[in-house]
């Protein structure tokens, strides 16, 4: 008979075996180390009586301490003291009761109380409970599996070779840490390989299930790579939104490609991988790929197989272009002209043949760029020349650049020319000294043919300035915070920047026709502009012009942006409609039709909202009186369901206003509507799941290159795929506290971490000057001091950084950019000295009156100079006639005697200077004081100084109020109000701002009101255009 169960257990009935305070004995080395659960076990109270085997057992009280035998082991003593005993009714013997047997619904063994050895063995062997601590061990199988998982994760993430686990020194290290680990550690690398493959298969099955429950379609990115072995490997990545609403970019696989790299061959490999993950045609989304022509054919091949119902145009519109590659092509056109592809092909051919003389000759055709390329390559080619360049020290203000090495441009790395030119400009003086001093070896021509003169350096400066636009566009498109919604606006901004650069160079070349530099730069800008226009106008996006009837961009580019509730069609109206360009207006109309057609053909009505079944009706009181009451309250006629199109309804409403909202906020918006507007939400989530770039494949290849090192060149394609996919699926460690880890030591967060002080400073100086707390001119000097102090401290962490040529490490350009920011901040900080108003406002602030005395304590010359200018300005106010003081309230003699003690006397003309008196006698105000109100309250005591202070402190710290005016005007001037006159526009906007500021609140006195005729005569209102 099963033991009875307590009917109502309560927290007070919980029995807890807690022996953790005891010191455990050493664990035998012959057995594996157990893994313990973190807390002792807790049980409900045992029954008072139960029957087993036809015998009744009755619970008795816990054994008293006086019954303990002398010399009993301290562990056994605690087991006996904390255990529960029963009396067997048949022979009245006392037995032990096992809670674990009861929990596991096992038969009680009921050991007779006679020592504790049998109890200890029972707990350890049957239930894996440590009798010393009362903590339950995990099963040995579970322990082994956990050890395998942790070992595999470490191996794949850190690119550890499998044979390293066979190394005797490594095994001795583990033996020293815990001898029991050797029982789990495999002895052969083949075992590790099988473990990795099994883990890959298990994780792959989990990913397959996650993909099946995704909240969006699954978009794909793939790219081809030649590994060091060498294999042709295709990396495939999925982009989707999971059930939790997280945007996921996940590796699906890395497959070896056999044979020609045709579109059909690539497509068949991708299809095979999609079938392994059970991704069907209904689940497949878009393809974000680079500009290789084989990718066009691959997408066509894949979609014909997965989605046979699709029309040709629909399949073409599923192929999207990687924004990073588009930007890189425009950048190459700027650097190498319109025929850059031809030149790059020639360079690659000569380089593969090892004909470096022809490579050098070909680079000479590219002016200053070719000279720089050849010069950098010449210096980096031998260790001796590198050392010669490294020994050149400039010192002084340029000492920060003395430790830097040169960076070679690379045709396969985006923005490599920007890094190379920026580094060269930073070490220009060292390069010039090297060119002047270097003596080439015997048989070497040296650098005579590619020295850089002043004209070349001037051209490099202009090119570097233009390349910053490409660099910024690339960085802003990377990462997890961007989506396809940023694709079009980024390309549009880049086109505008290139266009302005082109026009600038053209104007200068027209004025100075003999200057070769401007002609050369104009040609660069023209080539970049033409390349960008090709993609912007869809001449390249239209599948290499093979379908002239299909002249429109894939509507996904537009849909992603307008389905952002914080943008909608606002950006397109702003850029395409409001400027009055008829051609762009047609673009706008076509884009609207394309998005609506996409909605109607692929989403509308496809995802019905799942209706929950109605709850079961409860039995009701049969009393007729109650029935009549319920029937009267019941709704008999359902309200008509709105037939409004969800997309049209969404577009017709105003966009949400949050300038800092990004992709994550837009996804959260649509997830909140997933159950109520399923069709439209799926439409939006499909778009936001897509990254604007295919850079995740490049990250896979960068990691795989570290896996396939020389000593692991025989790795097969299947284990390469398993290692790299597992590494991507495991992700980065959540916490890395080891100071030896490179990422923690040299790679701080160089986005938010470095820009946060600037953001805080900007916010501090914004606001309304009238508030006096933030945004006033008195904040300017303290804010500058804060910024300079923060960045000077952070720059010190780079003093010991070894600057090398690895451009993928941000420490070089971070330190350089940080120094550049400091130089710019100091430059403008010094310009504050041009106006004494900054210093005056700071020291007249009741909270900051002594701030500069402390902040500039080590700069006495600054204090002396600023005080001298302040006194000169103060003298102008002292010379002004003082305002008439209010008449003094008349008191009797007793009041005068009292007030002489509690009220400070006012100053007379013969007394000390007002400023000196205020500085000496008035205490520093508390934090949060309103300085304007403070000085208004002191006007009677310090009439001239208060006027001086209020004049200074009422000056805003920035001119952002004008920007606010313009921002509101942009909202006011919607398309239907474009003809509003300037006078009416000014009247509306000024009235809005004055009301908000509190001016003119309340009714205007009758004596100040003027008639309509007087208003018309004074302002000419009848001439205003109020349409």
* Position 11 pLDDT exceeds 50: no
Residue 350 has a pLDDT of: 65
At 106-124, the pLDDT tens digits run 778 777 777 677 777 777 7
What is the value of pTM for the model shown?
A: 0.58
- Quick one: average pLDDT of 479-483? 75
At 644-690, the pLDDT tens digits run 788 988 988 888 877 777 788 888 889 888 888 889 999 999 999 99
319: confidence class by pLDDT, cuts 50, 70, 90 = very high
Interatomic CA distance for residues 228 and 341, integer angstroms:
25
Across the chain, what does the average pLDDT equal? 75
Interatomic CA distance for residues 754 and 931, integer angstroms:
32
Cα distances (Å, whole numbers) of residue 1000 to 547, 962, 965, 1003 = 65, 21, 19, 8
Q: Quick one: what percent of the chain has pLDDT higher than 70?
A: 72
Q: Quick one: what percent of the chain has pLDDT higher than 90?
A: 14
Which secondary-structure segment (H or E) carries 703? Answer: helix 695-707
Q: Which two tokens stand for residue 740?
A: 């030896």
CA angle 1000, 1001, 1005 (to 5 degrees): 70
- Quick one: average pLDDT of 497-505? 82
* Position 14 pLDDT exceeds 50: no
Ranked by mean pLDDT, the top range of 210-224, 737-751, 868-882 is 210-224
Which secondary-structure segment (H or E) carries 85? Answer: strand 85-88
Q: In the chain, where does the domain assigned CATH 3.30.420 lie? A: 196-322+694-730
Interatomic CA distance for residues 856 and 864, integer angstroms:
10
* Position 798 pLDDT exceeds 70: no
CA angle 518, 519, 521 (to 5 degrees): 60
Give strand pairing partners of 52.
55
At 437-470, the pLDDT tens digits run 888 877 777 777 778 888 888 888 888 888 888 8
At 394-447, the pLDDT tens digits run 887 777 778 888 888 876 677 888 899 999 998 888 898 888 888 887 777 777
* Position 271 pLDDT exceeds 90: yes
846: confidence class by pLDDT, cuts 50, 70, 90 = confident
At 529-549, the pLDDT tens digits run 888 888 777 644 443 444 444
Q: Which two tokens stand for residue 561?
A: 């942006």
Residue 222 has a pLDDT of: 94
Interatomic CA distance for residues 377 and 362, integer angstroms:
14
* Position 3 pLDDT exceeds 80: no
DSSP H helix total and E strand total for the chain:
43, 13
Residue 567 has a pLDDT of: 87
What does the H/E/C string look like for 720-765?
HHHHHHHHHHHCCCCCCCCCCCHHHHHCCCCCHHHHHHHHHHHHHH
Residue 1007 has a pLDDT of: 43
Residue 810 has a pLDDT of: 44
Give 805-812's long-range contacts (Cβ < 8 A, gap of 24+): 805/380, 805/405, 805/406, 805/407, 805/408, 807/407, 807/413, 807/416, 807/419, 808/702, 809/746, 809/747, 810/747, 810/750, 811/746, 811/747, 812/404, 812/423
Cα distances (Å, whole numbers) of residue 408 to 194, 413, 475, 747, 891 = 42, 11, 20, 22, 87
At 726-766, the pLDDT tens digits run 999 998 886 544 434 333 333 334 455 667 788 888 877 77
At 544-596, the pLDDT tens digits run 444 444 446 789 989 999 998 988 888 888 888 887 778 888 888 888 999 99
- Cis bond upstream, residue 911 (ω within 30): no
Residue 884 has a pLDDT of: 52
Query: Which residue in this structure is represented by tokens 């920035």?
Result: 958
240: confidence class by pLDDT, cuts 50, 70, 90 = very high
DSSP 2: P
Question: Which of these ranges, 114-118, 768-772, 862-866, 977-981, has the smallest mean pLDDT?
Answer: 768-772
Cβ atoms of 231 and 256 within 8 Å: the answer is yes
Query: Which residue in this structure is represented by tokens 């992603």?
Result: 560
At 334-379, the pLDDT tens digits run 887 776 667 677 777 766 666 667 777 777 777 788 888 888 888 8
| Highest CATH level, class, for 196-322+694-730 | alpha beta
- Is the torsion defined by CA of 965, 969, 972, 977 positive or negative? positive
* Position 948 pLDDT exceeds 60: yes
Residue 583 has a pLDDT of: 81
Ranked by mean pLDDT, the top range of 81-85, 629-633, 718-722 is 718-722
Residue 696 has a pLDDT of: 86
């Amino acid at each position: 008979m099963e033991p009875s169960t307590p009917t109502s257990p309560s927290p007070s009935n919980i029995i807890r075996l807690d022996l953790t305070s005891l010191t455990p004995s050493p664990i035998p080395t012959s057995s594996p180390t157990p893994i313990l659960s973190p807390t002792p076990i807790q049980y409900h109270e045992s029954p008072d009586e139960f029957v087993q085997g036809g015998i009744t057992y009755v619970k008795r009280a816990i054994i008293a301490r006086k019954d303990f035998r002398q010399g009993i082991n301290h562990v056994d003593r605690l087991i006996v003291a904390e255990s529960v005993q029963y009396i067997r009714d048949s022979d009245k013997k006392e037995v032990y009761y096992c809670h674990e047997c009861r929990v596991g619904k096992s038969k009680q063994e009921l050991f007779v109380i006679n020592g504790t050895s049998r109890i200890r063995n029972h707990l350890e062997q049957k239930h894996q409970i440590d009798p010393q601590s009362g903590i339950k061990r995990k099963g040995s199988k579970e322990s082994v599996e956990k050890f395998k998982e942790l070992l595999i994760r470490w191996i794949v993430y850190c690119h550890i070779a499998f044979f390293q686990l066979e190394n005797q020194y490594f095994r001795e290290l583990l033996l020293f840490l815990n001898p029991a680990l050797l029982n789990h550690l495999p002895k052969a690398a083949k075992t590790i390989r099988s473990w990795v493959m099994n883990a890959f298969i298990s994780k792959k099955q989990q990913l397959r299930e996650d993909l099946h429950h995704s909240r969006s379609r699954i978009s794909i990115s793939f790219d081809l790579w030649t590994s060091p072995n060498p294999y042709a490997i295709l990396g495939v990545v999925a982009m989707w939104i999971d059930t939790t609403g997280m945007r996921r970019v996940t590796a699906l696989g890395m497959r070896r490609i056999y044979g020609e790299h045709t579109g059909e061959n690539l497509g068949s490999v991708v299809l095979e991988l999609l079938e392994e993950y059970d991704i069907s045609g209904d689940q497949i989304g878009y393809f974000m790929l680079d500009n290789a022509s084989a990718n066009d054919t691959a997408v066509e091949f894949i979609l014909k197989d997965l989605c046979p119902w699709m029309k040709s145009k629909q399949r073409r519109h599923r192929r999207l272009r990687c924004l990073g590659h588009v930007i890189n092509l425009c950048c190459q056109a700027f650097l190498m002209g319109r025929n850059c592809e031809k030149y790059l092909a020639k360079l690659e051919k000569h380089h593969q043949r090892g004909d470096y003389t022809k490579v050098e000759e070909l680079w000479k055709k590219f002016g200053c760029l070719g000279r720089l390329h050849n010069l950098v390559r010449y210096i980096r080619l031998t260790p001796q020349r590198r050392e010669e360049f490294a020994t050149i020290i400039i010192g002084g203000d340029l000492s920060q650049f003395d430790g830097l090495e040169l960076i070679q441009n690379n045709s396969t790395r985006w923005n490599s020319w920007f890094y190379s030119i920026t580094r060269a400009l930073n070490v220009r003086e060292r390069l010039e000294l090297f060119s002047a001093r270097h003596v080439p070896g015997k048989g070497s021509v040296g650098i005579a043919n590619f020295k850089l003169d002043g004209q070349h350096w001037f051209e490099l400066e202009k090119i570097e300035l233009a390349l910053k636009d490409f660099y910024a566009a690339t960085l802003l498109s990377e990462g997890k915070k961007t989506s396809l919604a940023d694709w079009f606006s980024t390309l549009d901004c880049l086109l505008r920047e290139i266009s302005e650069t082109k026009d600038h160079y053209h104007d200068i070349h027209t004025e100075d026709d003999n200057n070769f530099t401007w002609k050369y730069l104009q040609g660069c800008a023209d080539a970049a502009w033409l390349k960008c226009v090709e993609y912007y106008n869809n001449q390249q996006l239209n599948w290499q012009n093979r379908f002239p009837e299909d002249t429109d961009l894939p509507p996904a580019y537009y849909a992603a942006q307008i389905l952002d509730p914080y943008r909608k069609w606002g950006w397109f109206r702003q850029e395409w409609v409001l400027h009055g360009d008829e051609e762009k207006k047609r673009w706008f109309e076509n884009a609207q039709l394309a998005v609506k057609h996409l909605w109607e053909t692929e989403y509308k009505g496809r995802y019905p909202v799942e209706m929950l079944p109605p709850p079961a009706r409860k039995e009701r009181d049969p009393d007729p009186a109650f029935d009549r009451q319920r029937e009267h309250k019941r709704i008999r006629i359902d309200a008509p369901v709105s037939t409004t199109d969800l997309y049209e309804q969404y577009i017709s409403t105003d966009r949400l206003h949050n300038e800092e909202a990004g992709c994550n906020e837009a996804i959260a918006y649509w997830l909140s509507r997933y159950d109520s507007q399923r069709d439209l939400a799926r439409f939006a989530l499909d778009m936001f799941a897509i990254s604007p770039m295919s850079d995740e494949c490049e990250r896979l290849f960068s990691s795989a290159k570290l896996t396939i090192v020389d000593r692991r060149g025989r790795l097969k394609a299947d284990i390469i795929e398993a290692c790299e996919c597992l590494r991507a699926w495991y992700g980065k460690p959540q916490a890395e506290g080891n100071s030896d880890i490179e990422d923690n030591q040299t790679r701080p967060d160089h986005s938010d971490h470095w820009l946060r002080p600037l953001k805080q400073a900007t916010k501090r100086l914004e606001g309304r000057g009238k508030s006096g707390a933030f945004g006033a001119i008195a904040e300017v000097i303290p804010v500058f001091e804060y910024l300079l102090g923060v960045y000077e401290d952070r720059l010190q962490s780079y003093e010991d950084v070894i600057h090398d040529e690895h451009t993928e490490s941000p420490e070089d350009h971070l330190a350089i950019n940080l120094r550049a920011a400091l130089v710019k901040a100091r430059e403008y900080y010094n310009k504050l000295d041009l106006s004494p108003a900054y210093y005056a406002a700071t020291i007249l602030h009741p909270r900051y009156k002594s701030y500069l005395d402390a902040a500039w304590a080590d700069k006495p010359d600054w204090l002396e100079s600023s005080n001298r200018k302040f006194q000169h300005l103060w003298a102008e106010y002292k010379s002004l006639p003082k305002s008439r003081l209010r008449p003094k309230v008349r008191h009797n003699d007793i009041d005068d005697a009292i007030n002489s003690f509690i009220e400070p006397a006012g100053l007379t003309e013969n007394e000390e200077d007002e400023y000196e008196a205020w500085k000496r006698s008035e205490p520093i105000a508390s934090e949060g004081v309103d300085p304007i109100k403070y000085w208004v309250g002191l006007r009677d005591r310090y009439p001239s100084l208060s006027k001086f202070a209020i004049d200074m402190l009422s000056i805003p710290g920035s001119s952002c109020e004008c920007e606010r005016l313009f921002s509101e005007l942009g909202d006011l001037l919607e398309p239907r109000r474009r003809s509003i006159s300037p006078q009416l526009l000014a009247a509306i906007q000024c009235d809005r701002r004055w009301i908000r500021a509190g001016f003119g609140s309340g009714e205007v006195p009758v004596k100040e009101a003027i008639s309509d005729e007087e208003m018309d005569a004074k302002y000419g209102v009848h001439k205003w255009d109020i349409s």
